[in-house]
Chains A and B, each alone.
Chain A
Amino acid sequence: MVRIAALVCLLLLGSISTGSAAAIVGKQAPSIELRDSNGKAVRLDEFKGKFVVLEWVNFQCPFVGKHYGSGNMQKLQKAYTKKGVVWLSICSSAQGKQGHVNGREANELLKEKDAAPSRFLLDSAGSVGKAYGAKTTPHMFVIDPKGTVVYNGAIDDTPSTDKADIATAKNYLVAALDAAMSGKKVETAVTQPYGCSVKY
């Protein structure tokens, strides 16, 4: 009987399916509890009252390379953190997968690239990435001071790895932040993100 039960379990194993979670625009942002690159615990709750940008990152992905190699991402990080926005870069690459970094490696890369996120969060278990439905690097989210998701999607409207496209692209993140921070409705609140798959 045990053997038959074992057989049935084995046959059923393959048919388990998982629904996917996501950060939904207009709803409360999923909670975040992670360590940052300096080993400090970070919770999303700490930033209530401020706008928060989440940026999914994998420094070995050519789409991320487009936005860092051109200085575009660093420029946005500096411009918006100066205005009081909290910018959280998150790496969900699993151990042994492309882009995985420990805290020291992350700090070295940030320094080398002159990047300026408020914090760099390590999510090698992928739990926060999956809770947000982060699919690509980059994949951008904006959370308002009440903790509501107001943008989920691509950094801009030109899916490519070509730095030359940045100049002519419409930057969705900028449009969302500028609208939300001046109390206006975000016109384009959901877009299809583009990039490498997140290496869960």
Chain B
Amino acid sequence: MAGLLVAAIAVPGRGSSTGASRNVRVELVSEQAAVQPGRPFHVGIHMKMRAGWHTYWKNPGDAGLPLRIKWSLPGGFVAGPIEWPAPERIPAGPVMSYGYTREVLLPVEITPPGRIAADSITIAGTFDWLECSEVCLPGSAALDVTLPVRPEPSAPGPAASLFAEARSRMPRTPTGWSFSAEAGPRAISLAIRVPAGFSARRAYLFLDQPLVADFGAPQGFERAQGGYRLTMAPAPNAPRPPERLTGVLVFDERAGMKPRTALRVDVPVSPGDPAPAPAPSERRALPRVVYVALFAFLGLGPVMVMRFVRRFHRE
């Protein structure tokens, strides 16, 4: 096991240190170039996963483990909770995990004391995570970042753009939206009233609670009064109906490649018997060339294809 835990390498002359496990490279970075006494700022662990590997969200889903941090902070400094960007679904057969592929920055707010005697301070911590592909390995690194102390507000540091990117993926508290939820034996239903002009093809609710919904079951999504209705299969072993639904609702918008809309959901649940909504097809798009070849094989030109589609719609 010790062989898997690669110690962090301090880089002299640089503010932050990097580390690595077999499949994840990590660095502790600061959003600001310096620390101003009494003014909260953000540090973050930047994790870069090898292709095919992932790490976990705060609720890992059916399996896995979120990042754990043990901070070593200078006297009077306080670290806030990890701020988790909206996760991705990572299915493996019937087991659904929630996490991150490629890379992620996990920010944490640090509040310094009102008076700092030193010229510079070091934020340090031990970071433990689980990295998985087909197999899982524990990863660990001791990381630190050293920053000068300045009386005036600090300029952004070299890693500031990472924080901006992470914030664009953070769930926001919705304004102009409203949610209500109902749970019964067949489904748990979230009614979503959307602001005027909003339209979405599908949505997914990442619950941060265990033993409420069946993470692996497809979620239903349909148009409803004032917006949409999302439904989840209750967890087969849920000991009791949920009192609240809490998590992150992510939309894949029609507009295509825009950043996903991710909203914080925290709503009381009333008892009822909502019906499951149909699950949008999770079919992966085949490469375009496959469709072209298929249509060519079928002897259908584009006109024929359109006629075929229209006829199906009429029926």
Contacts and interface: CB of A to CB of B under 8 A. Distances in A.
Interface of A: 3-4, 7, 10-11, 13-15, 17-25, 60-63, 65, 69, 97-98, 126, 130, 133, 135-136, 152-153, 159-162, 189-192, 194-200
6 contacts: A18-B94, A23-B237, A65-B1, A195-B63, A196-B63, A199-B134
Contact of B136 (A13, A19, A61): A61
A62 B137 contact: yes
Contacts of B134: 97-98, 199
B74 to A, nearest CB: 26
Chain B contact patch, size range: 35 or more
B283 interface: yes
B314 to A, nearest CB: 16
Contact of A159 (B65, B95, B284, B308): B65
Looking at chain A's contact residues, the main secondary structure is loop
Given A62-B136, A98-B135, A15 B94 contact: no
B235 to A, nearest CB: 8
A161 B237 contact: no
Given A20-B216, A198-B95, A133 B137 contact: no
B282 A14 contact: yes
Interface string B213-248: 010111000000000000001001111000000000
Nearest to B305: A7
Contact of A196 (B136, B279, B294): B136
A189 B239 contact: yes
Contacts, number: 108
B233 A19 contact: yes
Given A4-B298, A7-B298, A136-B63, A20 B239 contact: no
Contact of B62 (A17, A60, A136, A162): A136
Contacts of B293: none
A163 B130 CA distance: 15
B296 to A, nearest CB: 12
Contact of A15 (B128, B138, B281): B281
A31 B201 CA distance: 41
B1 A190 contact: no
Given A3-B298, A152-B237, A196-B136, A160 B65 contact: yes
Interface string B74-118: 000000000000000000111101000000000000000000000
A200 B95 contact: yes
Given A7-B298, A15-B281, A65-B1, A20 B138 contact: no
Give the 8 A-B CB pairs with smallest separation, nearest first. A14-B283, A192-B210, A22-B236, A197-B63, A197-B95, A200-B93, A15-B281, A135-B62
A21 B94 CA distance: 10
A81 to B, nearest CB: 26
Nearest to A60: B135
B160 interface: no
Contacts of A65: 1
A129 to B, nearest CB: 9
B5 to A, nearest CB: 11
Contacts of A15: 281-283
Contacts of B137: 62
Nearest to B4: A62
B64 interface: yes
B155 to A, nearest CB: 39
Contacts of A98: 134-135
Contacts of B282: 14-15, 17
B10 interface: no
B214 A62 contact: no
B132 interface: yes
B150 interface: no
B211 interface: yes
Nearest to B210: A192
B68 interface: yes
Given A160-B68, A196-B132, A14 B217 contact: no
Contacts of B216: 20
A17 B65 contact: no
Contacts of B294: 7, 10
Contacts of B210: 192
Nearest to A25: B237
